[in-house]
């Protein structure tokens, strides 16, 4: 796919944000037994509010929540507006995975570029600078990447001197520092049309490695910090990150 810079959105406020908020949160059930993971309280506020605050501060005006498990809980918690953000919902009737959920939401997205975020992780990233990086690299996909002390838990991202992603290394289970995906992506809509509709598909395991082999996939290095709330231990750490 050849991108023409003049046809791309000029500002991050021009594009929608899609937040993956449909996961089962199986590993977190001991800490949050009754709730949806993105609603897990962090300092007496649902974790998802941290992402919505980040988007609003960057100038994003529209967010689509990709829901599944306990979807009505998420809708009832946030409704149609959060501060300056207009909220919409794309609900999956059965688990579609990260790529499948984004593919389903395309009927709500007309813009050629979209910002996609994992709803259970947070990274301190300059979203406007990330957007400008994506446009400047004329990338099909851009990932926010961050260096962490224990990359073995997540799987590592390899990239070259031009910030082009070359490959992904699976989780090793060993403690070693390295670069990982922060779960924040800028993706061209046209690319996602290749994902089969209505099928469970993974961005991380299936489509990003495939696109890396044939498209321009770039890594935007950001300082962090990064955290996810996927385990009771990391969820506990989130309480110390936010004030």
Q: What is the pLDDT along the chain (243 residues), one digit of tens a residue?
A: 344 334 567 789 999 999 999 876 666 666 564 567 899 999 889 999 999 999 999 999 999 999 998 999 999 999 999 999 999 999 999 999 999 999 999 999 999 999 999 999 999 999 999 999 999 999 999 999 999 998 888 889 999 999 999 999 987 777 789 999 999 999 999 999 999 999 999 999 999 999 999 999 999 999 999 999 888 888 888 888 887
Given a contact cutoff of 8 angstroms between Cβ atoms, the answer to whether 141 and 193 are in contact is no
Tell me the H-state helices in 40-170.
48-58, 71-78, 97-104, 127-137
pTM of the model: 0.93
Q: Are strands 41-42 and 45-46 parallel, antiparallel or unpaired?
A: antiparallel
Contacts of 203 (CB under 8 A, 6+ apart): 97, 98, 99, 102, 116, 185
Q: Options 3.40.50.620, 3.90.550.10, 3.20.20.150, 3.40.630.10; which CATH number does 14-140+183-197+225-241 get?
A: 3.90.550.10
Q: Residue 48: name the closest of 7, 72, 25, 78 by CA.
A: 78
Backbone angles phi, psi at 48, to 5 degrees: -60, -25
């Amino acid at each position: 796919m050849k991108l023409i810079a003049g046809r791309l959105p000029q500002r991050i406020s021009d594009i929608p944000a899609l937040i993956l908020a449909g996961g089962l949160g199986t590993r977190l059930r001991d800490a949050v037994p009754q709730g949806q993971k993105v609603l897990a309280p962090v300092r007496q506020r649902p974790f998802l509010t941290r992402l919505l605050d980040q988007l609003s501060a960057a100038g994003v005006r529209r967010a689509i929540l990709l829901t599944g498990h306990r979807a009505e809980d998420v809708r009832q918690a946030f409704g149609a507006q959060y501060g300056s953000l207009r909220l919409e919902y794309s609900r999956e009737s059965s688990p579609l995975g990260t790529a499948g959920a984004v593919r389903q939401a395309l009927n709500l997205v007309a813009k050629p570029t979209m910002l996609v975020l994992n709803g259970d992780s947070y990274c301190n990233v300059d979203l406007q600078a990330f957007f400008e990086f994506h446009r400047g690299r004329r990338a099909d996909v851009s990932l926010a990447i961050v260096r962490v002390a224990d990359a073995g838990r997540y799987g590592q991202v390899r990239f070259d001197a031009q910030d082009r992603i070359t490959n992904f290394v699976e989780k090793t289970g060993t403690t070693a520092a390295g670069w990982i995906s922060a779960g924040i992506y800028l993706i061209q809509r046209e690319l996602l049309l290749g994902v089969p509709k209505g099928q469970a598909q993974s961005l991380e395991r299936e489509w990003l490695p495939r696109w890396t082999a044939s498209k321009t996939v770039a890594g935007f290095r950001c300082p962090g910090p990064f955290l996810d709330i996927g385990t009771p231990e990391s969820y506990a750490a989130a309480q110390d990150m936010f004030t």
